[in-house]
């Protein structure tokens, strides 16, 4: 699944993955990461997520990365934010009052782009990628992230044969395989969300669990 897939989804406004409300798990578990006041938070594959606004409202600086220019433009326009645009390596930097989105390919990110980040919020990155891209994603993620940064990770688990992703099912053993070299993995919460997602039931799912993890540098 290449960048073109997501560019097309945004162009066709097929963005059912976008949430208008702040993520419940972010609000419930973020404080457990004990991110320093005013610290910088990295949000990979951020789309136009309003979770970035929630993080900024808590006093954190926020840096996202997103491949779709439509998503980036809409984030600033829909939230009434004046934006300054400049170049940053291979990426385009969109910035407004402590909120930065780097427009471009995640794999073009360099360590210096996220060098000041104290923590990461990943609700929609790992589960957006097929198996053949997830390992590459995790390896690049580890290679650029500061060694002290914690991550709050939200995933979905279901029988992959019942539904073609995205979003994809990502199990705990798989996450351990990706991240065990760099992080200690702690499962914080598990909840059955199939009843509140009838569209997934219509696509054939018989079980859908949402799981929340904290990744602490080993």
Question: 12-26, 27-41, 122-136: lowest mean pLDDT where?
Answer: 12-26
Backbone dihedral region for residue 98 (phi beyond 0: left; psi -120 to 50: alpha; all else: beta): left
Give the chain's domain count. Answer: 1
96: CATH = 3.40.50.150
Q: Which domain holds residue 160?
A: 3-217
Q: What is the pTM of this model?
A: 0.93
Q: Per the omega criterion (within 30 degrees of 0), is the bond before 156 cis?
A: no
Q: Tell me: the pLDDT tens digits for 37-77?
A: 999 999 999 999 999 999 999 999 999 999 999 999 999 99
- How many Cα neighbours within 13 Å face the side chain of 69? 3
pLDDT for position 195: 93
Q: What mean pLDDT, rounded, does the chain reach?
A: 92
CB distance 165 to 157 below 8 Å: no
User: Given the structure tokens 């909120």, which residue do they identify?
Assistant: 99
Q: Tell me: the pLDDT tens digits for 126-180?
A: 998 888 889 999 999 999 999 999 999 999 999 999 998 888 999 999 999 999 9
- In whole angstroms, give the CA distance from residue 11 to residue 148: 37
Confidence of residue 1 (pLDDT cuts 50, 70, 90): very low
pLDDT at residue 93 greater than cutoff 60: yes
Q: Tell me: the pLDDT tens digits for 184-195?
A: 999 999 999 999
């Amino acid at each position: 699944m290449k960048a073109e897939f997501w560019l097309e989804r945004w162009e066709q406004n097929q963005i059912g993955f976008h949430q208008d409300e702040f993520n419940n798990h972010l609000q419930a578990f973020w404080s457990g990461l004990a991110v320093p006041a005013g610290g910088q938070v990295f949000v990979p594959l951020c789309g136009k997520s309003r979770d970035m606004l929630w993080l900024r409202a808590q006093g954190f600086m926020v840096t996202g990365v997103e491949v779709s220019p439509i998503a980036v433009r809409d984030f600033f326009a829909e939230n009434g934010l004046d934006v300054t645009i400049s170049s940053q390596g291979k990426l385009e930097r969109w910035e407004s009052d402590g909120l930065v989105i780097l427009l471009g390919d995640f794999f073009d990110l360099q360590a210096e782009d996220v060098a000041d980040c104290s923590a990461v919020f990943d609700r929609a990155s790992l589960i957006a990628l097929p198996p053949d891209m997830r390992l590459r994603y995790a390896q690049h993620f580890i290679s650029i992230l500061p060694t002290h940064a914690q991550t709050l990770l939200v995933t979905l688990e279901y029988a992959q044969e019942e539904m073609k992703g995205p979003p994809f099912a990502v199990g705990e053993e798989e996450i351990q395989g990706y991240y065990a070299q760099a992080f200690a993995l702690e499962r914080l919460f598990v909840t059955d969300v199939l009843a509140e997602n009838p569209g997934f039931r219509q696509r054939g799912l018989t079980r859908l669990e949402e799981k929340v993890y904290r990744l602490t540098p080993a």
